[in-house]
Amino acid sequence: MTDGEKISAPAVSPPGDAARTDYGERFRFESLLTDLSARFINVHADQLDAVICDAQRQICEFLKVDVCSLWRAPSEKPDTLVLVQLYHPPDFLPPPLATDSSDESPWALTLMQQGRDLVVACIEDTPPEAEQDRVLWRRLGVKSLVSIPLSVGGERTLGALNLCCIRQERQWDQHLVSRLRLVGQIFANALARQDVERELKESRARLALATSAADIGLWVLDRTGTCFWVNDKISELFGIPPTDELEVARFLAFVHPEDHELVSSSIDAARQSSQLTAIEYRIVRPDGAIRWMFSRGRPIDGAQDLPRLLMGITFDVTDRKNAEERVLQLSLALEQSPASVVITDLQGTIRYVNRKFTEVSGYSREEAIGRNPRILKSGETPPETYQELWACITGGNTWRGEFHNLRKNGELFWEAASISPVVDANGRITHFVGVKEDITAQRRSEQELQQQRQELAHLSRVMTMSELSGSLAHELNQPLAIILTNAEAAQRLLAQEPPDLAEVRDTLADIVSEDQRAGNIIRRLRAMLKPGHTQLEPLSANELVEDVLRIARSDLIGRGITAQTVLDARGPRVTGDRIQLQQVILNLVLNAAEAMAAKAPTQRLLSLATEQRDGLVRISVSDTGCGLPSNVESIFEPFYTTKKEGLGLGLTICRSIVSSHHGRLWAEGSVAERSGATFYMDLPLLAEGQP
């Protein structure tokens, strides 16, 4: 800097031509101010420092001042002055860039903070409270100075503009100080503008940080409504190279055709409205991917007559949309499910029921939610079922079973249910979901089927018994004949002299026991002829075989058949309906007898056996008859018969009875072998200790 050396004019002009000089100088100063103002107004933020510096130089040169410094008093630390720009001669020792002025120049600071000018022609003439300040000035070599506090619009003091003379003292007349205030105003505006710019910059940076952290696209639609300013996130969302500007037309080209109208009308509406406008729409990215976007915008109020800016955010909601879509589909599926669905919390309180539930149970959604599923309880389902259910699902497992429940209207119905715990991400059970199917109709038809089967079985039994009627009559005749003979023998014994009373007593005892025997035969017959319901009970396989032989005995004797039994000494037991199982064995026995009719009497051998094996009981009936057709299974088909009067349902019914006992009925032996046939019936073994 060489200008400082040129300063040679006296600090104080002679009073005589002061006025003239004054006017000329004032005029030049005015033009300097105008020039500075103009430069500051048009200056770009980046060049502000350079302009300030140049202005300082011009002022120094113009006023023949050595040093011009611009200080800023930061709002967060108002006692510290920070040097903004300094214009000084080379030999000037620059002050520190930041000064704690409360320490070094408290007096000047106080004046500045009060918005008062500091005008010092000679530092030694300053008041005693400026003692600290004087030390500083002396150290810096300042002889005279002016410090103009800077503020905008009467607000807080932003800083100070200082002009110092170090070569010599000088006077600061009132006009000069006034004009310096104007200069200060220019600088103050510049500082304020710098502040605003910085704040804006920081704010933008913060916003950019926030938007990028939130993964949010940010945009501003210009006043003409033709172009968006967008941040990089928007470009990323749209799958295009980074850009600052996105024309509305280009943007709309990305929008999915079906959402096009919605989007463009929403933009127009948002610009008119003062409300927040939000829309969801699809875009088709250049790579063809369809993404769901959420945009929210709000107009920014500007000057009244101007169209407004529209500013907003956009982010990708595809995942949420997809999830919503899935939830929607799922809930639609749930609603339209042909099964009842109930969701309860851990306490069993109903949280959700679907439409089918309301149809089946008769309870509306409002009635059901908040209550316990026990509203359906009829008392028909045994308590053990519920205990088992809870143990199962609280253990994290799915329970399957059937309920006999009550509809709201008091009607009983059957439900097949599958109840599972719902587990959250941490593996904790949060809810239970029950899926239930109304199987009442199914149950009913099963019952009808069961009843039909029972009726058919009964019919078959009656037919079998009628086939056997001759031999059964004989069977019953036997005890009656014995009773008659005994009675007549007793009469004769009593007629003797002396009567053999001991023998008479014996005779009467025999009569009683034969009468009981006759009674038992009649009971068995009635049981076989009764159209009873299935009654399951533990049965001894050996007893079944023996009972049947008792019924068939006379018939077999009449046919000249010898019967033998090989019974398992362990006395295996099965669970079943006594009459039905007897019916099966009886049918097999009579079929066997039939098959042996053509054989010589000595070759008519019927064998019945029971055998316990691998968890089941096998009852077999073998004959030495004519054997079976090569297609053995055909004999189990309905209407297969070899008898003239037979219906051909015997074996079919037998098989259905055995199946309903969870057993199996099959046959072996063919005509070719001529070795007769064996029928096997396997039934599940009733294990020891079971009732």
Partner 1 sequence: MSAPGQTVYLLDDEPGMLKAITRLLKAEGLEVCAFASASDFLASYRADTPSCLVLDVAMPELNGLELQRRLTRSGVLLPIVFLTGHGDIPMSVQAIKAGAVDFLTKPARAADLIRAVRAALQRAVEQHEQVSELAALRERYATLTKRECEVMARVVAGKLNKQIADELGVGDHTIKVHRARVMQKMGVVSLADLVRAAGRLKP
Q: Which residues bind partner 1 (CB under 8 A)?
A: 470, 473-474, 477-486, 488-489, 491-493, 496, 500, 503, 507, 510, 513-514, 517, 554, 557-558, 560, 562, 601
Q: Which is nearer to partner 1, 418 or 478 (CB)?
A: 478
Which one, 347 or 602, has the nearer CB to partner 1?
602
Least separation in angstroms between CB 487 and partner 1? 9
Nearer to partner 1, 37 or 477 (CB): 477
DSSP state string for 452-520 = HHHHHHHHHHHHHHHHTHHHHHHHHHHHHHHHHHHHHHHHHHHHSSS--HHHHHHHHHHHHHHHHHHHH
Shortest spacing between CB 509 and partner 1, in angstroms? 11
Least distance to partner 1 from the beta carbon of 466, Å? 16
**Residue (555 or 682) nearer to partner 1, CB:** 555
Considering the complex, state which of residue 402 and residue 515 has its C-beta at the smaller distance from partner 1.
Answer: 515
Q: H-helix or E-strand containing 211? A: helix 174-213
At its nearest, how many Å lie between partner 1 and the CB of residue 637? 35
Tokens of 262: 């919605």
The two three-digit tokens of residue 132, written as one number = 């600290």
- Helices and strands in the chain, H and E counts: 20, 24
Least gap, CB of 463 to partner 1 (angstroms)? 20
Is the Cβ of residue 163 or residue 483 nearer to partner 1 in the bound state?
483
Q: Which is nearer to partner 1, 602 or 630 (CB)?
A: 602
DSSP one-letter code for 45: G
- Provide the 8-state DSSP code for 349: -
How far is CA 410 from each of CA 362, 370, 468, rounded to the nearest angstrom?
A: 10, 21, 49
Q: In this complex, which beta carbon is closest to partner 1, that of residue 433 or of residue 545?
A: 545
d(CA 160, CA 191): 10
Q: How far apart are CA 596 and CA 647, in angstroms?
A: 20
C-alpha distances (whole Å) from 459 to each of 485, 530, 582 are 37, 10, 15
Closest CB to partner 1 among residues 186, 552: 552
In the complex with partner 1, the residue whose CB is nearer, 305 or 497, is 497
Measured from the CB of residue 514, what is the shortest distance to partner 1 in angstroms? 6
Minimum CB separation of residue 556 from partner 1 in Å reads 8
| Min separation Cβ 605 and partner 1, Å | 12
81/561 with CB nearer partner 1? 561
Q: With respect to partner 1, which residue has the nearer C-beta, 273 or 485?
A: 485
Closer by beta carbon to partner 1, 497 or else 688: 497
Rounded to an integer, what distance in angstroms lies between the CA atom of residue 560 and that of residue 625?
Answer: 13
**Residue position matching structure tokens 């009675």:** 487
Q: Quick one: CA dihedral 38, 41, 42, 45, positive or negative? A: positive
Yes or no: say if 325 and 318 are a contact pair by the CB < 8 Å rule: no
Q: Which two tokens stand for residue 434?
A: 């029950």
Shortest distance in whole angstroms from residue 558 CB to partner 1: 6
The identity of residue 246, as a single letter, is L
3-state per-residue secondary structure call for 620-648: EEECCCCCCCCCHHHHHCCCCCCCCCCCC
Is the distance from CB of 159 to CB of 81 less than 8 angstroms?
A: yes
**CB 619 → partner 1: shortest distance, Å?**
22
Instruction: Compute φ and ψ for 508, nearest 5 degrees.
Output: -65, -40
Between strands 605-613 and 562-566, the pairing is parallel
Q: Minimal distance in Å, beta carbon 546 to partner 1?
A: 16
Q: Are 211 and 217 in contact (CB under 8 A)?
A: yes
CB-based contacts of 282: which residues, under 8 Å, 6+ apart?
255, 256, 258, 259, 290, 291, 292, 293
Q: How far is the CB of 501 from partner 1 (least distance, A)?
A: 13
Q: Is the CB of 328 or the CB of 597 nearer to partner 1? A: 597
Structure tokens at 619: 């009852």
Q: How far is the CB of 597 from partner 1 (least distance, A)?
A: 15
Spell out where 3-79 has E strands.
Answer: 67-72
CA 40 to chain centre: 63
Smallest gap from residue 477 Cβ to partner 1 (A): 6
Q: Which residue has the tokens 């807080």?
A: 156
Instruction: Give 101 or 486: the residue with its C-beta nearer to partner 1.
Output: 486
Which residues 6+ apart lie within 8 Å of 453 measured at CB?
653, 656, 657, 660
Report the nearest approach of partner 1 to the CB of residue 510 (Å). Answer: 7
| SS3 label, residue 286 | coil
Q: Which residues of 430-457 are buried (b: 16+ CB within 10 A; e: fewer)?
A: eebbbbbbbbbeebeeeeeeeeebbebb
Inter-axis angle of helices 650-660 and 440-467, nearest 10: 130
CA proximity to 471, closest of 353, 387, 589:
589
Residue 396, amino acid: G
